[in-house]
Amino acid sequence: MINDFLTPYLKIRKGSSINLVNETKFLQVVTFWFNYFDFANDFFLSQKKDLNLLNNDLIRKSIFHFLDVYDGKCGIILDENIKFHHKIAAFFLFGKKGYLPSGVSANLSDKIKFKLLFYKVNILKIKIDSKFKDDYFEECYSSFGIETVSVLRWIIPDVFFASGLSSDNNLPHILKGSPLCFFDFNYNYLKLLLQSEKVQIIGFQHGGVYGEWKNNPYEIYEKSISDFYYGWGFFENNIIQNRFKKLKNFFPEKEGIFWFGRDECYLSSTVDFGNSILSHFKEVDHLEFFYKFFKKFNFKFLPHPRNGSVVYEKIINQSFYDSTNDSANYVLNAKLVLFDCLSHTLLYHCLFNEIPFLIFLNKWPTELSEKASDFYTVLHENNLLLIKGDLNIENKLASISEYLNGNIESLYSKDFNDYIKKVFFSHKTIDLI
């Protein structure tokens, strides 16, 4: 770790008399927070050698701004450094009040129930072990400077030093949704863990990547604090994906080919935070090859989930570029949806709504889970996953051309459709509220 703030925390905590009703889960949340914090610090250091997460005014003010703990006026410094401000936002936007965990019903009545739950949690009072808190920061002084520790006092939530709750509002004992919600910086979910040993966490996959890789720190964390965890096809226990709905045709004019790009990602050389996944997302040597093929079909490029990476600059400048906040509906009538990497969340939308898709890669990833490897192998065998170095790549592309020119009715065989239904859509559904 760059700055090991966790070890003194665990040391002082072990010497205290604190033993919470959900001590193990509580510490797993805290540990993940410190690890993520270390990864974020490493990212900012990579931008500039003398730029440290805790000793740079811009970073401190930006973090405080997103954590809703900074009272000063930081608008000017943020406006002057808007690009850097956005990078910080990507790391610290978990802390939305009343954050509705992915997978929870979009029905208005369910949202109201969830908002009421957050209201009840927000007014809960926690008991702070002042000695534990003071001893921790005193220990930090022996390893870090005064300025660093003063910033830590701002950033580390008081709930990390909780000895329990001082009030009980008869809150629910079963929590359903994405366990990543426990990483929200208002720590409403963490408060719920303090109320009773009967609290159960039922976690759900809420996007791509999950179940696909051998080492996914987010997945490992979420499963570690869940009593039950459900995936969308690659886990031991699965449900039918609950992020996308069966959609009606809202954009009948939006037809054709759509290429979904990916965000920039940071691959650390010192902090392993899912590096095998990030290494895959950093591969770009295949983009030019496949761009030359698809540009003759006048595809549209769509960034997802946010702005397109700089690696797409040529593609964006030389093709039809569009943006939408409703990607799922936008591509409902697509002739073909293109993905240039694995683990794209919208792949599940394509599977669920039977939208034709194609994945193209630079090389075959080596760190896939067994079930994901089996799935992508089937895609490869059915020419729905292409690799730049395939020996018969030209023949495969010719087949794609036949489909796009209308000479082939479908890319999918009946056997393939049956396989998809078995892997992803033969499971149960579950009530999330």
Decide which of 126 and 37 is more confident. Answer: 126
* pLDDT given for residue 181 in this prediction: 64
| Domain containing residue 376 | 252-425
Share of the chain residues as helix, strand and coil, in percent rounded to the nearest 5: 45, 10, 45
Please check whether residue 243 lies inside any domain of the structure. no
User: Is a pLDDT exceeding 70 seen at residue 49?
Assistant: no
350-375 per-position pLDDT tens digit: 999 999 999 999 999 989 999 999 99
Select from 204, 219, 242 the last residue of a domain: 204
CA-nearest of 212, 207, 107, 121 to 159 is: 121
71-83 per-position pLDDT tens digit: 344 444 344 444 5
Concatenated DSSP letters of 320-356: EE---S-HHHHTTEEEEEEESSS--THHHHHHHTT--
Please check whether residue 106 lies inside any domain of the structure. yes
- At 77, is the secondary structure helix, strand, or coil? helix
Decide which of 5 and 109 is more confident. Answer: 5
Q: Are 200 and 264 in a shared domain?
A: no
CA distance 140 to 316: 48
**Across 155-177, average pLDDT:** 79
* pLDDT given for residue 415 in this prediction: 93
Q: Are 200 and 263 in a shared domain?
A: no
Least-confidence region, from 17-31, 61-75, 165-179: 61-75
Q: Are 297 and 391 in a shared domain?
A: yes
User: Is a pLDDT exceeding 80 seen at residue 295?
Assistant: yes
User: Is a pLDDT exceeding 50 seen at residue 386?
Assistant: yes
Please check whether residue 225 lies inside any domain of the structure. no
422-433 per-position pLDDT tens digit: 999 998 776 654
E-strand stretches of 137-209: 162-165, 174-177, 200-204
Please check whether residue 49 lies inside any domain of the structure. yes
Least-confidence region, from 50-59, 176-185, 204-213, 260-269: 50-59
User: Is a pLDDT exceeding 60 seen at residue 66?
Assistant: no
Q: Are 181 and 274 in a shared domain?
A: no
Q: Are 200 and 256 in a shared domain?
A: no
Please check whether residue 341 lies inside any domain of the structure. yes
Q: Are 187 and 290 in a shared domain?
A: no
Decide which of 286 and 150 is more confident. Answer: 286
With bands split at pLDDT 50, 70 and 90, how would you rate the model's confidence at 248?
low
Please check whether residue 239 lies inside any domain of the structure. no
Residue 368 DSSP class: B
Please check whether residue 233 lies inside any domain of the structure. no
**Across 134-147, average pLDDT:** 90
Please check whether residue 321 lies inside any domain of the structure. yes
Select from 145, 175, 204 the last residue of a domain: 204
Least-confidence region, from 12-21, 81-90, 119-128: 81-90
Q: Are 193 and 264 in a shared domain?
A: no
* pLDDT given for residue 116 in this prediction: 74
- Specify the residue for token string 């604090």: 225
Q: Are 153 and 292 in a shared domain?
A: no
What order do you get walking across the sheet with 255-260 strand by strand?
Answer: 320-321, 300-302, 255-260, 333-339, 357-361, 385-387
* pLDDT given for residue 194 in this prediction: 85
**Across 3-14, average pLDDT:** 91
CA distance 254 to 233: 29
With bands split at pLDDT 50, 70 and 90, how would you rate the model's confidence at 111?
low
**Across 225-238, average pLDDT:** 92
Least-confidence region, from 67-71, 118-122, 299-303, 319-323: 67-71
With bands split at pLDDT 50, 70 and 90, how would you rate the model's confidence at 68?
very low
Phi then psi for residue 357, to 5 deg, are -140, 160
